[in-house]
C-alpha cells in the first residue's frame, strides 16, 4: 500500500519531465539515430527517410584519402591540447594571486573585469580581434612597432595562427575558469595555515605546503574533465577568425565538417567525419568521468 | 601578517599591480573598439585613437541605426531571447526538480538522469541535426532557434545540485501539510533558489543572445537572421557593399572600421548592462551548484 501511494505521489514528477523528454528525444536522439547517413550516398533532396543508396564504409574511406585529413586531425589536437594546458595553468595561477590580495574592493573589481569576456560571443570578440590584430592598422601591431618590431599577421600567417587562437581563447576564458579554483581555496581549513605559520612557514611555503595540496583534488578533477575536449579546438572562434590562407594550420574537424557538409553539400561525408569525432570524444569523456569518479569521487549528478 | 618583511611587501605590491593590469587587459580591447566607434574615420586612419575617442562623433551610430538593416535582426534576437530564455528556464526547473529527488523515492530518476546526461556525451553531429529541423519544416521560423536548444543540460545539472543542498526538512514539512510536488516546487524550492535561478537565467539569456551559427544555417532569408548571425555576415564575411554608397564627405567621418566598431558595441551593450547586476549571483550560483562539499 505504501508503495502504491509513493507511486501515485510521484506521478507529477513524471509529468514535469515529459515535455523536456520529448524535446530531447526529437532534437538530440533522432539526430543520433540519423548518423546512419554516414553510410549512405546521401542526396538531401530525397530527405531523411527517402530512398538513399547505401555505400557501407565508402565515406570513411574517401575521408582517409583526403590529402588534408591528417593535417586537420593534427591541427585539432594541437590547438585543443594547448588550450587545455593553458586553460588550467593560467586560471589556477590567477586564483592563487587573487587569493593573496588583501584589499577586498580591488579583488572584487578585478574579478568583475576578468569574468566579463566569457559572456561575449566570438562574433563580437572576433570583430575585436580582427581590428586590433590587423597588420596595417591594428593597435597591437602599432604598439609592437613602437618597439621596432615588424608587423605580424597574427590571423594570416600559419606560424602564428594556432598560437593566436590559444592566447585569445585563454584571454576570453581564464577569468571565468578561476571561479572554481577560488571556490576551492575558500574550502581549505584556516587552521592549517595557522599551524604552518607557527612552524615558521612564509607565504611561499604556505602556498607550496598547504594551498596546493589542498587544491590537488580540484586540479586533478579539472584536468581530467578537460580531456573530453581533445577534439574540440573551438569552432566558434576558429571559423570566425580563419581564412583560406591559414587552412594549413587552422582547419580543424568542426570547420571541415562545416565546409564539407553545409557549404559543399557532401552530407554523407560530413556526417562520417562528425560521427568519427563524436565516437572518439565519447570515449575520452567516458574515460574522463570514470577517472574523475575514481580519483576525485566526482559525480556530475 | 601584514607588512612583515620588505620581501612580503614587495610581493604584495607587485601582485596587486599585476592583477590590476591583467584585469584592465581584459577590457582594454573593448574600450579601444568603443573609442574607435566614437571617433572620426580620419583620426582612426591616422592611428591616433587608442583608448579615448578623437574628434568625438556619434555619426557611426547614427549611420548604423538610420540605415535600419540592424533593426530586424535585433527584433529576431529579442524574440528568441524571450521565448528561448523562457523555455530554457521552464525546462531547467521542471527537469531539475524531479532529478533532485533520491532514487529511493523516485525510482525512475536514474534512468531519466542518464537520458538527459547522455546528450552531453554524444551527439548526432551537425548534419542529422540540421536535417531533422528541416524535416520538421522549422527552417526560417524563430522556433528553429528556440526548440532545439530547449533543454540546457548543463544548467539542469547546476540547478539540481543546488536543489539537493536545500534542507530536506523543508520538503518533509510541506508534505506533512498536504502539499504535492507542484506546490512544494513552486512555494518552497523556487523562492529558496533565487541565486541559482538568476545564474541559469543569465546563462540561458546570454547563450541565446550570443548564438549565431544556428541562425546562419537555419534561416534562409537574411531578414530572419538574429543579431549575431547578421553581424557575422557583415563583420566576418567582410561585406562592404555599403561603403560604395558613401560620399567623400561622409567617408571623412565614418569608415568601414568605425561602422563595424559601432555595430560591435551595439551588440555588446545589453550584456554590459545586465552583467554587473547578475555577477554576484552567478559566482554564488556556480560555486554552490558545481563544487560539492
Location of C-alpha cell 521565448:
B83
Q: Which of B127, B152, B174 to mutate to test the interface with A (most CBs of A within 10 A)?
A: B127
A–B interface: beta-carbon pairs under 8 A = 266
What is the percent of chain A where pLDDT is above 90?
A: 63
Query: What angle, rounded to 10 degrees, do the helices at B153-164 and B109-121 form?
Result: 140
**Range list of β-strands (E), B79-206:** none
| Among A119, A179, A258, beta carbon nearest to B126 | A258
With beta carbons under 8 A apart, name residues in chain B contacting A6.
105
Q: What is the DSSP letter of B148?
A: T
Tell me the nearest-neighbour CA distance from B157 into chain A, angstroms: 6
In whole angstroms, give the CA distance from residue B21 to residue B38: 24
Tell which A residues from 121 to 140 touch B, by Cβ distance under 8 Å. 121, 123-132, 137, 139
**pLDDT tens by residue, A170-215:** 999 999 999 989 988 888 888 888 899 898 888 888 888 899 888 9
- Asked if residues A160 and A153 have their Cβ atoms less than 8 Å apart, the reply is yes
> Residues B217, B240, A252, CA angle at the centre, nearest 5°?
45
| Burial (0-12, 13-18, 19+ Cβ within 10 Å), A85 | middle
Nearest Cα of chain A lies from the Cα of B183 at a distance, in angstroms, of 11
pLDDT greater than 90 at residue A239? yes
Residue B181 is placed in which grid cell?
A: 510536488
Report yes or no: A256 and A273 within 8 Å, Cβ to Cβ: yes
Q: What is the mean pLDDT of chain B?
A: 88
Q: How confident is the model at residue A18 (pLDDT cuts 50, 70, 90)?
A: very high
Q: Max CA-CA distance within chain A?
A: 85
Partner residues linked to A40 by β-bridges: A54
What's the grid cell of residue A18? 515529459
Hey, what's the torsion of the CAs at A249, A255, A256, A259, to 10 degrees?
Answer: -120
Q: How confident is the model at residue A28 (pLDDT cuts 50, 70, 90)?
A: very high
Residue A296 has pLDDT above 50, yes or no: yes
ipTM: 0.89
With beta carbons under 8 A apart, name residues in chain B contacting A277.
125
Instruction: Give the Cα-Cα-Cα angle A89, A93, A96 (nearest 5 degrees).
Output: 145
* Cα separation, A268 vs A266, whole angstroms: 6
Which residues are bridge partners to A54 per DSSP? A40
Quote the cell numbers at residue A44: 538531401
Distance CA A246, CA A237 (A): 14
Contact by Cβ (8 Å): B278, B194: no
What is the C-alpha to C-alpha distance for residues A238 and A249, in angstroms, rounded to an integer?
A: 11
Amino acid at each position: 500500500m505504501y508503495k502504491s501511494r509513493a507511486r501515485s505521489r510521484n506521478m507529477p514528477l513524471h509529468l514535469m519531465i515529459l515535455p523536456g523528454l520529448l524535446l530531447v528525444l526529437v532534437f538530440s536522439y533522432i539526430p543520433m539515430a540519423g548518423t546512419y547517413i554516414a553510410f549512405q550516398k546521401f542526396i538531401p533532396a530525397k530527405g531523411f527517410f527517402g530512398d538513399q543508396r547505401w555505400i557501407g564504409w565508402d565515406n570513411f574511406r574517401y575521408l582517409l584519402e583526403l590529402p588534408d585529413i591528417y593535417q586537420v586531425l593534427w591541427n585539432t589536437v594541437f590547438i585543443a591540447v594547448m588550450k587545455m594546458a593553458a586553460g588550467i595553468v593560467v586560471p589556477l595561477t590567477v586564483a592563487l594571486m587573487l587569493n593573496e590580495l588583501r584589499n577586498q574592493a580591488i579583488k572584487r573589481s578585478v574579478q568583475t573585469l576578468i569574468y566579463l569576456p566569457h559572456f561575449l560571443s566570438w562574433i563580437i570578440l572576433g570583430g575585436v580581434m580582427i581590428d586590433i590584430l590587423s597588420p596595417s592598422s591594428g593597435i597591437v601591431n602599432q604598439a609592437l612597432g613602437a618597439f621596432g618590431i615588424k608587423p605580424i599577421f597574427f590571423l594570416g600567417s600559419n606560424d602564428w595562427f594556432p598560437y593566436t587562437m590559444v592566447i585569445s581563447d585563454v584571454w576570453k576564458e581564464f577569468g571565468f575558469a578561476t571561479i572554481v579554483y577560488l571556490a576551492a581555496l575558500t574550502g581549505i581549513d584556516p587552521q592549517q595555515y595557522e599551524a604552518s605559520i607557527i612552524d615558521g612557514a612564509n607565504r611561499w611555503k604556505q602556498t607550496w605546503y598547504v594551498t596546493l595540496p589542498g587544491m590537488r583534488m580540484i586540479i586533478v578533477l579539472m584536468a581530467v574533465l578537460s580531456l573530453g575536449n581533445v577534439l574540440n579546438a573551438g569552432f566558434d572562434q576558429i571559423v570566425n577568425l580563419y581564412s583560406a590562407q591559414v587552412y594549413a594550420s587552422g582547419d580543424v574537424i568542426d570547420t571541415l565538417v562545416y565546409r564539407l557538409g553545409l557549404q559543399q553539400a557532401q552530407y554523407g561525408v560530413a556526417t562520417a567525419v562528425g560521427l568519427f569525432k563524436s565516437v572518439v570524444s565519447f570515449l575520452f569523456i567516458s574515460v574522463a568521468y570514470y577517472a574523475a569518479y575514481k580519483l576525485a569521487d566526482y559525480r556530475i549528478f | 601578517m601584514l607588512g612583515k618583511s620588505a620581501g612580503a611587501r614587495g610581493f604584495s605590491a607587485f601582485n596587486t599591480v599585476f592583477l590590476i593590469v591583467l584585469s584592465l587587459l581584459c577590457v582594454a580591447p573593448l574600450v579601444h573598439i568603443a573609442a574607435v566607434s566614437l571617433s572620426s574615420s580620419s583620426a582612426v586612419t591616422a592611428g591616433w585613437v587608442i583608448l579615448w575617442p578623437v574628434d568625438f562623433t556619434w555619426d557611426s551610430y547614427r549611420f548604423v541605426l538610420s540605415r535600419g538593416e540592424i533593426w530586424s535582426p535585433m527584433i529576431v534576437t529579442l524574440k528568441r531571447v524571450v521565448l528561448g530564455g523562457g523555455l530554457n528556464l521552464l525546462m531547467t526547473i521542471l527537469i531539475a526538480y524531479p532529478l533532485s529527488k533520491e532514487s529511493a523515492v523516485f525510482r525512475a530518476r536514474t534512468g531519466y538522469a542518464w537520458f538527459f546526461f547522455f546528450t552531453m556525451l554524444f551527439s548526432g553531429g551537425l548534419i542529422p541535426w540540421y536535417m531533422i529541423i528541416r524535416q520538421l519544416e522549422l527552417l526560417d521560423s524563430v522556433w528553429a532557434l528556440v526548440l532545439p536548444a530547449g533543454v540546457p543540460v548543463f544548467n539542469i545539472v547546476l540547478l539540481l545540485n543546488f536543489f539537493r543542498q536545500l534542507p530536506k526538512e523543508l520538503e518533509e514539512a510541506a508534505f506533512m501539510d498536504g502539499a504535492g510536488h507542484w506546490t512544494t516546487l513552486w512555494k518552497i524550492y523556487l523562492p529558496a533558489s533565487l541565486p541559482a535561478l538568476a545564474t541559469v537565467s543569465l546563462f540561458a539569456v546570454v547563450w541565446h543572445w550570443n548564438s549565431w551559427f544556428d541562425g546562419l544555417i537555419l534561416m534562409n532569408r537574411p531578414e530572419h537572421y538574429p543579431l549575431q548571425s547578421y553581424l557575422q555576415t557583415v563583420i566576418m564575411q567582410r561585406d562592404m557593399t555599403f561603403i560604395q554608397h558613401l560620399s567623400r564627405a561622409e567617408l571623412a567621418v565614418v569608415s568601414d572600421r568605425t561602422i563595424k566598431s559601432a555595430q560591435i558595441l551595439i551588440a555588446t551593450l545589453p550584456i554590459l548592462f545586465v552583467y554587473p547586476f547578475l555577477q554576484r549571483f552567478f559566482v554564488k550560483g556556480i560555486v554552490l551548484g558545481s563544487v560539492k562539499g
